[in-house]
Homo-oligomer: A and B are copies of this chain.
Amino acid sequence: MAKNGVRIGIVGGTGYTGVELLRLLAQHPHCELAAITSRKEAGTGVAEMFPNLRGRVALKFSDPDKAGLKNCDLVFFATPNGVAMEQARALVDGGVRIIDIAADFRIQDVAEWETWYGVKHACPELVAEAVYGLPEVNRAKIREARIVANPGCYPTAVQLGMLPLIEAGIVDLDHLIADAKSGVSGAGRKAEVHTLLAEASDNFKAYSVAGHRHHPEITQGLTRAAGRPVNLVFVPHLTPMIRGIHATLYARLTRNSDLQALYEKRYAKEAFVDVMPAGSHPDTRSVRGANFCRVAVHQPRGGDIAVVLSVIDNLVKGASGQAVQNMNIMFGLPETAGLEQLALIP
């Protein structure tokens, strides 16, 4: 680690996870931004594209071939899926550690990954080595990892909400339900008709009910926690807001338990998971721009169905903030370094 802190390269960086990573790293006390690459935007100042960075981030996008990523301690991939797997081998062989904010290393079953992402995996052997970067589950492994697969946004919200129930072994694992609502930034900074303001504003809809890429990722995590396969129905919805995921989770209880105590105990030592008081309804704005997951657990009318409400900012705890949290763990920094900003209300 360099004198100025972790020496960082970013591949990609013209999308939403990229600008969010820049916003967070620009305010991080222990890192040095060495390079950010974009073949298309090479030579453009990042602050020209994202004026919130004016006066604070002097870096220009550079051509990937000239960026000197091999001299970095850590490279973040804030790219579309399929990019990190092409470059990972050379970097890790050169001693550079990697956090992939995209999906290339998230799913251990390479055949399943290939089905969902529609391409052949370029380095299946590195998938086996990669650590799934959910600190609340894998902190020790993340510390030593060369490659961290940063979790998806829905998987973060759903797993953090479901894990206490599953780890406690008190729910029917065959009929788990995750009804998840995401702000539109989750679709990325791509020009597409269905995410235009004129299409998505003042409107609400479900999508991909038949199947979504995050389904196998969530199932993999819950299966690990359960120690046996689980069955999950996952219904994502597009919500007319910019940031935020609200996962409403339903599980049938097979045993009585003090759910509030269970959740408080599970997350007692976690800096970024906030178990709300009994009866709470966390709103997504309470984490807007902040690296928190807020969770509340309910048991409506004393019945046998637990309802968990789990909110994150999809770009922070659901992407770039969690990536910085992983960096902090990997480099022995305080886990909250650079992540202490409070959410904007209103």
> Within 8 Å CB of A307, what residues of B?
209, 233, 235
A244 to B244, CA, bound (A): 20
Contact of A340 with B27 at beta-carbon distance under 8 Å, contacts A191-B191, A205-B246, A235-B307 already known: yes
Q: Mark A190-228, 1 if CB is under 8 A from B, else 0.
A: 111101111111111111011100000000000000000
Contact between chains at A274 and B198 (CB < 8 Å): no
Is A252 on the interface with B (CB-CB < 8 A)?
yes
Task: Give 1 or 0 for each of A241-257: 1 = CB within 8 Å of chain B CB.
Answer: 11110101010100000
In the bound complex, do residue B237 and residue A250 qualify as a contact, i.e. CB atoms below 8 Å apart? no
Stretch at the interface among A36-44, A115-123, A179-187: A179-187
Find chain B residues with CB under 8 A from A304 CB. 175
Task: Write out, one digit per residue, whether chain A residues 44-83 have a CB within 8 A of any chain B CB (1) or not (0).
Answer: 0000001111111000000000000000000000000000
Is A239 part of the binding interface, using a Cβ–Cβ cutoff of 8 Å? yes
Q: Considering the chains assembled together, what is the distance between the CA atoms of A191 and B197 in angstroms? A: 11
For residue A332, CB closer than 8 A to chain B, the reply is no
> In the bound complex, do residue A240 and residue B237 qualify as a contact, i.e. CB atoms below 8 Å apart?
no
Residues of B with C-beta under 8 A to A234: 300
Cβ-based interface call for A133 (8 A)? no
Q: Is the CB of A198 within 8 A of B26?
A: no
Residue from A189, A204, A290 whose CB has the most chain B CB atoms within 10 Å: A204
Q: Are A246 and B204 in contact (CB under 8 A)?
A: yes
Q: Across the interface, do A202 and B285 meet the contact criterion of CB distance under 8 Å? A: yes
Q: Which of A85-93, A146-154, A276-284 contacts B (4 or more CB under 8 A)?
A: A276-284
19 residue pairs from A and B, CB less than 8 Å apart: A53-B342, A54-B286, A54-B294, A175-B175, A175-B252, A179-B248, A181-B204, A184-B196, A185-B346, A189-B199, A189-B346, A203-B283, A203-B284, A204-B239, A204-B284, A206-B246, A206-B281, A233-B300, A289-B289
What are the 7 closest A-B residue pairs judged by CB atoms, nearest first? A205-B283, A52-B343, A191-B191, A203-B285, A51-B286, A185-B198, A197-B197
Q: Given contacts A54-B286, A315-B346, list 8 more A-B pairs with CB under 8 A.
A: A51-B294, A184-B197, A191-B193, A195-B198, A196-B197, A205-B282, A205-B284, A234-B300
